[in-house]
Structure formats: structure tokens, C-alpha cells
């Protein structure tokens, strides 16, 4: 079976600025992929290419469609939620549902209304009267009710409080993801999504620095909190990073023999954020 997303040597420039450089990725169906990078890394540009909203150089196939020339067909099976709400502000919520029912053949209004009933969103209110969190919830309700195969989330919870962010991703996992669909999440706050990811992509300055499954990440990287007097022995293993925590030295290692690591200190599984900072040279 072909990957759900195929990207081969994709480049994109804005004038003299190269936003993406020779990006190649294959993303299978049934994955939750975190696209992680600092601001300006190229995350949004890549997602806009995947959804056919901008031109590019290279080859891209999404759901066996070419995004630029087959965008209408692609978007019938793709949901997108951005940081900036794109729903018409002058529409009432019920009119948004009327519109979706009229234009999208697989829109399930009952499903959408059932989800909205669990929120504080009233159908008589205009979109512009909703809070940012409510707009995000409304957008999510519409996307979940269209039975899409691909969900693209571009910093959807940016600027929202931590409780809402947790509820949002829990809803995505419980109500949308079923093991056959694919979710691509762009974020520079990896801590809030790493618990749901199956794969992670690190991107910086338009280049992919790392693409692994979460299981591979745990196999390749290990963190050691050195015991007293053992720091120099750990340093001989050429750690990626070293920092001090409560007077103890903490090291992040890659591709090392773990047989005797426990004799050097406390061995831990690093967080995605720890690996991200190491790979980015401290840039977050």
C-alpha cells in the first residue's frame, strides 16, 4: 500500500528566502505525526503545500492526489484547522452548519450538533461573537462531522489556556482518530502533543532534521543522570547535550551501548522536547 502522503525533493522559496529545502517524506495512513520546529522553520509552508494552497517545486501526492491540480477532490477528504480561524465571522453557527450541509456530501449534521451540545456554543450566535477557543471547537466539530481521512492541525491551540489545549487533543484522539485516519500536527510546543504522537518530524530552516517513530526515538536516545564522580565517564560517550539539574549532571546520548549505562547513573527515557532541543542546538 502506498503512503498516504508522499513528498519527494520539495523546495519552496519566497523571493530570496528558501522556506523548504529538498524535503522528502513518506507518511503512512493511521499515524499521528508531530511536525515540530521553531517559528519560521517551514512548518506552515509544508502544510500549505500538502493542502494545495501554494505552488512548489518537487513531487507531492496526498491521498493519491496531486494537491495543486486536484485540490477540490483532496479537500473533500481533508480537514484543516489553523491557529487563525477561517470561518466567516458574520455567519451564525447554524448557518455554518447549513452551508456545510449544502456543499459537503459527507457532512453529518447530527454528529456535528451532538458534539456542539457538549460545548457552550449556541447555534444562534455569530462566529464573531465566539471566543477563540469556541471558534476552534466549532471548526473541530465541522471537521469531525465530514468524515475526512486526513486532519491537518496548524498550531490550532496557539494562545489558548492549558486546560483547553488538553481537552482539544483528547477530543481529537477520542472522537476523530480511529487507526485508519492520519493526523499531522504542526507545533513548536511539543510538550503538549508528545503523549499522542506515533511519529515526529523535526524541521529547522526548511530542512528535515529528524523523522522517526516514537518507538525509534526511545531506542536511539537515552538520558543519564550521572552518579557522583561518573560525569567524565559519561562525557567519553560523546553526549549530545549536558546540563545541570539540582547539582547533578544530566546527559543526552544517541546510539550508545546501554549494557553498562546503569553503572554510570540513573537511566531515563528522554522527552521529545529534550531530543528536540539537542537536535536544534538549543533553539526552541
pLDDT tens track for 134-187: 999 999 999 889 888 999 999 888 878 888 888 889 888 888 888 889 999 998
Sign of CA dihedral 127, 128, 131, 132: positive
- What one-character DSSP code corresponds to residue 189? -
Number of domains in the chain: 2
Report the alpha-carbon distance of residue 215 to residue 196 in Å, rounded: 13
Report the alpha-carbon distance of residue 95 to residue 99 in Å, rounded: 6
pLDDT surpasses 50 at 267: yes
Does some domain include residue 121?
Answer: yes
Domain's final residue, options 153, 182, 212: 212
The 10 Å Cβ neighbour count of residue 62 is: 26
Query: Minimal CA–CA distance to 222: which of 266, 282, 279?
Result: 266
Does some domain include residue 284?
Answer: no
Domain's final residue, options 169, 193, 212: 212
The 10 Å Cβ neighbour count of residue 133 is: 20
Q: Are 51 and 71 in contact (CB under 8 A)?
A: yes
* 241 in the same domain as 203: no
* 147 in the same domain as 16: yes
* 114 in the same domain as 154: yes
Does some domain include residue 19?
Answer: yes
Q: What is the pLDDT of residues 40-85, one digit of tens each?
A: 899 999 999 999 999 999 999 999 999 999 999 999 899 998 876 6
pLDDT at 159: 79
pLDDT surpasses 80 at 281: no
Q: What is the pLDDT of residues 190-234, one digit of tens each?
A: 888 898 999 999 999 999 999 999 999 999 999 999 998 999 999
* 232 in the same domain as 129: no
Q: Helices in the chain by DSSP H: which ranges? A: 43-50, 71-75, 93-103, 109-116, 132-144, 162-171, 214-220, 231-235, 272-279
Q: What is the pLDDT of residues 142-151, one digit of tens each?
A: 988 988 899 9
Domain CATH number, residue 80? 3.40.50.300
Domain's final residue, options 212, 233, 268: 212
pLDDT at 85: 65
Q: In what order do the strands lie in the sheet with 207-213?
A: 78-82, 150-154, 182-187, 32-36, 199-204, 207-213
Does some domain include residue 119?
Answer: yes
CB under 8 Å to 248, separation ≥6 — which residues? Answer: 225, 226
Q: What is the bridge-based pairing of β-strands 199-204 and 241-245?
A: unpaired
* 106 in the same domain as 19: yes
Report the alpha-carbon distance of residue 142 to residue 93 in Å, rounded: 11
* 197 in the same domain as 149: yes
* 234 in the same domain as 150: no
pLDDT at 284: 45
Determine the structural domain holding residue 195 and report its residue range: 5-212
* 226 in the same domain as 162: no
**Grid cell 452551508 — which residue?**
99
Average pLDDT, the chain: 92
* 269 in the same domain as 203: no
Q: What is the pLDDT of residues 105-139, one digit of tens each?
A: 889 999 999 999 989 999 999 999 999 889 999 99
* 256 in the same domain as 167: no
Lowest mean pLDDT among 3-12, 80-89, 246-255: 80-89
* 206 in the same domain as 103: yes
Report the alpha-carbon distance of residue 277 to residue 195 in Å, rounded: 17
pTM of the entire predicted model = 0.89
Question: What residue ranges in the chain does DSSP mark as E strands?
Answer: 5-14, 17-27, 32-36, 57-62, 78-82, 150-154, 182-187, 199-204, 207-213, 221-226, 241-245, 248-254, 265-268
Average pLDDT over residues 258-264: 94
* 88 in the same domain as 38: yes
pLDDT at 116: 93
Amino acid at each position: 500500500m502506498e503512503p498516504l502522503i508522499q513528498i519527494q525533493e520539495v523546495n519552496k522559496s519566497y523571493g530570496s528566502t528558501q522556506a523548504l529545502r529538498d524535503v522528502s517524506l513518506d507518511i503512512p495512513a493511521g499515524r499521528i505525526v508531530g511536525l515540530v520546529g521553531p517559528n519560521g522553520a517551514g512548518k506552515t509552508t509544508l502544510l500549505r503545500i500538502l493542502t494545495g494552497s501554494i505552488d512548489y517545486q518537487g513531487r507531492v501526492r496526498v491521498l493519491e492526489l496531486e494537491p495543486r491540480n486536484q485540490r477540490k477532490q483532496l479537500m473533500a477528504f481533508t480537514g484543516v484547522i489553523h491557529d487563525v480561524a477561517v470561518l466567516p465571522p458574520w455567519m451564525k453557527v447554524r448557518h455554518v452548519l447549513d452551508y456545510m450541509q449544502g456543499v459537503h456530501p459527507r457532512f453529518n449534521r447530527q454528529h456535528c450538533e451532538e458534539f456542539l451540545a457538549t460545548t457552550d456554543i449556541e447555534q444562534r450566535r455569530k462566529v464573531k461573537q465566539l471566543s477563540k477557543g469556541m471558534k476552534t471547537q466549532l471548526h473541530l466539530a465541522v471537521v469531525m462531522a465530514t468524515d475526512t481521512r486526513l486532519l491537518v492541525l496548524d498550531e490550532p491551540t496557539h494562545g489558548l489556556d492549558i486546560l483547553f489545549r488538553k481537552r482539544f487533543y483528547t477530543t481529537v484522539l477520542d472522537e476523530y482518530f480511529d487507526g485508519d485516519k492520519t493526523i499531522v500536527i504542526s507545533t513548536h510546543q511539543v510538550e503538549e502533543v508528545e503523549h499522542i504522537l506515533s511519529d515526529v518530524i523535526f524541521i529547522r530552516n526548511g530542512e528535515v532534521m529528524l523523522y522517526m517513530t516514537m518507538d525509534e526515538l526511545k531506542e536511539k536516545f537515552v538520558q543519564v543522570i550521572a552518579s557522583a564522580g561518573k560525569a567524565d565517564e559519561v562525557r567519553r560517550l560523546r553526549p549530545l547535550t549536558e546540563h545541570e539539574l539540582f547539582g547533578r549532571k544530566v546527559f543526552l546520548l544517541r546510539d550508545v551501548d546501554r549494557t553498562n549505562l546503569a553503572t554510570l547513573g540513573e537511566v531515563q527515557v528522554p522527552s521529545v522536547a529534550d531530543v528536540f532541543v539537542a537536535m536544534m542546538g538549543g533553539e526552541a
